[in-house]
């Protein structure tokens, strides 16, 4: 369970994995700030669902790539809900599946601004308060793409998530002396808007079949599969777990070979 009175900030929580994380953290007793960048209606609908279940939540707009907007989001969350003790860096974009051949510097710059700089901005914004209170749980959503899955078309996305993994370990080292844990969850292939993309129903069904074949459990993941792992890492009881990357991928078997 989260520490009593916990306040969680979940970035990119209007949809997909982030929405499931926000809902599960609220069900576990945390007050939750539901961050989004564009889809206010989806964020407000989730807040309404959490409140209907008896939880506390607010929706907060901010582009995580914008440090000033992140600072304002943290200030508003703390003013309305209280000091943030749980940060989940979930906001992320896929960067349109660029490869060496289709490389576009502007798209890759935006990919890094959201997936990497976004994590730096939020951690920098919450760390002073967590340090002062000598308690914190930070969970970054990486991807097994960064560990080296062999699904083509995710080259620069994978590189951005590899940065998230090493930042997780380095931030854990910097913040550990203050009682703050920093871990990452690396999802496998999870059914969300990101993985549906612009695929037709038939193409999507074929993609589900392909990805299911690559997992020992023979199925794609659900946002709730990721949320369950995050709720554990956000709990008070997980206080001796830090600098870890937990793959939640159904046992993916298609890793790039070496050696
Ligand atoms: P999704 O369905 O595309 O949802 C993305 C969420 O992030 C939305 O809530 C979106 O807000 C928000 N967002 C996007 N850019 C943002 C920004 N600049 N600032 C703040 N919020 C922003 O994605 P998902 O599949 O749930 O993925 C969530 C995380 O898991 C990402 O980091 C992704 O890389 C990672 N992941 C996903 C998979 C997978 O198979 N789905 C696998 C591995 C890792 P709006 O609704 O306002 O647009």
Residue with tokens 């960048």: 37
Q: Which atom of ligand 1 is nearest to the CA of 89?
A: 32
The pLDDT value recorded for residue 244 is 98
Instruction: Check if 189 has its Cβ closer than 6 Å to any atom of ligand 1.
Output: yes
Higher pLDDT, 138 or 149: 138
DSSP string, 144-191: GGGGTB--SS-HHHHHHHHHHHHHHHHHHHHHGGGTEEEEEEEE-SB-
Q: Which atom of ligand 1 is nearest to the CA of 191?
A: 41
The pLDDT value recorded for residue 85 is 98
Nearest to 146 by CA among 184, 183, 201, 191: 184
The pLDDT value recorded for residue 153 is 83
pLDDT tier, 151 (very low <50, low <70, confident <90, very high otherwise): confident
- Residue 259 pLDDT more than 80? no
Q: Which of 36, 135, 157, 255 is labelled catalytic? A: 157
Indicate the length of the chain as a whole number: 259
Instruction: Check if 36 has its Cβ closer than 6 Å to any atom of ligand 1.
Output: yes
The pLDDT value recorded for residue 233 is 98
In tens, the pLDDT along 188-242 reads 999 999 999 999 999 999 999 999 999 999 999 999 999 999 999 999 999 999 9
The pLDDT value recorded for residue 75 is 98
Pocket test for ligand 1, best of 32, 40, 92 (most atoms within 8 A of CB): 92
Distances (CA, A) of 257 to 39, 150, 161, 253, 254: 40, 9, 19, 11, 9
Whether the Cβ atoms of residue 93 and residue 63 lie closer than 8 Å to each other: no
Which residue's CA is minimally distant from atom 6 of ligand 1?
Answer: 12
The mean-pLDDT minimum among 91-100, 105-114, 195-204, 247-256 falls in 91-100
Instruction: Check if 92 has its Cβ closer than 6 Å to any atom of ligand 1.
Output: yes
Which residue's CA is minimally distant from atom 44 of ligand 1?
Answer: 143
- Residue 123 pLDDT more than 90? yes
In tens, the pLDDT along 18-51 reads 999 999 999 999 999 999 999 999 999 999 999 9
pLDDT tier, 152 (very low <50, low <70, confident <90, very high otherwise): confident
Instruction: Check if 63 has its Cβ closer than 6 Å to any atom of ligand 1.
Output: yes
Instruction: Check if 11 has its Cβ closer than 6 Å to any atom of ligand 1.
Output: yes
Say how far apart CA 217 and CA 188 lie, in whole Å. Answer: 12
The residues, ordered by sequence, that sit 6+ positions from 119 with a Cβ below 8 Å of its Cβ are: 64, 89, 140, 164, 167
Domain 7-247: give its CATH code.
3.40.50.720
Burial 196-227 (b: 16+ CB within 10 A, else e): eeeeeeeeeeebbeebeebbeeeebbebebbb
Q: What is the side-by-side strand order in the sheet with 57-61? A: 57-61, 31-36, 7-10, 86-89, 136-141, 180-187, 245-248
Pocket test for ligand 1, best of 33, 91, 168, 185 (most atoms within 8 A of CB): 91
**Cα of 209 vs its chain's centroid, Å:** 25
pLDDT tier, 167 (very low <50, low <70, confident <90, very high otherwise): very high
pLDDT tier, 258 (very low <50, low <70, confident <90, very high otherwise): low
Q: What is the mean pLDDT of residues 150-160?
A: 90
Say how far apart CA 108 and CA 229 lie, in whole Å. Answer: 29
Which residue's CA is minimally distant from atom 32 of ligand 1?
Answer: 92
Q: Give pTM, 2 decimals.
A: 0.98
- Residue 4 pLDDT more than 90? no
Q: Which residues pair with 247 in a beta bridge?
A: 186
Query: Would you call 255 a catalytic residue per the annotation?
Result: no
Q: Which residues pair with 32 in a beta bridge?
A: 8, 57
- Residue 181 pLDDT more than 90? yes
């Amino acid at each position: 369970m989260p520490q009593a009175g916990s306040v969680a900030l979940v970035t990119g929580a209007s949809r997909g994995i982030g929405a499931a994380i926000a809902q599960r953290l609220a069900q576990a007793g945390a007050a939750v700030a539901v961050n989004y960048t564009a889809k206010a209606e989806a964020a407000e609908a989730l807040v309404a669902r959490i409140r209907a279940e008896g939880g506390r939540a607010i929706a907060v707009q901010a582009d995580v790539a914008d440090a000033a907007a992140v600072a304002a989001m943290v200030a508003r969350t703390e003013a309305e809900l209280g000091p943030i003790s749980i940060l989940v860096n979930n906001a992320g974009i896929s960067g349109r599946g660029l490869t060496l051949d289709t490389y576009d510097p502007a798209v890759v710059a935006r990919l890094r601004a959201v997936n990497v700089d976004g994590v730096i901005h939020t951690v920098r914004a919450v760390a002073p308060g967590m340090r002062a209170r000598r308690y914190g749980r930070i969970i970054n959503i990486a991807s097994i793409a960064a560990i080296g899955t062999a699904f083509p078309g995710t080259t620069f996305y994978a590189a951005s998530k590899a940065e998230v993994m090493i930042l997780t370990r380095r931030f854990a080292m910097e913040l550990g002396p203050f009682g703050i844990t920093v871990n990452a969850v690396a999802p496998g292939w999870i059914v969300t808007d990101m993985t549906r993309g612009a695929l037709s129903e038939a193409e999507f069904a074929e993609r589900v079949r392909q990805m299911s074949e690559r997992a020992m459990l023979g199925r794609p993941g659900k946002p709730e599969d990721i949320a369950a792992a995050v709720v554990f890492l956000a709990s008070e009881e997980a206080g001796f777990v830090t600098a870890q990357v937990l793959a939640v991928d159904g046992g993916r078997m298609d890793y790039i070979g070496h050696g």
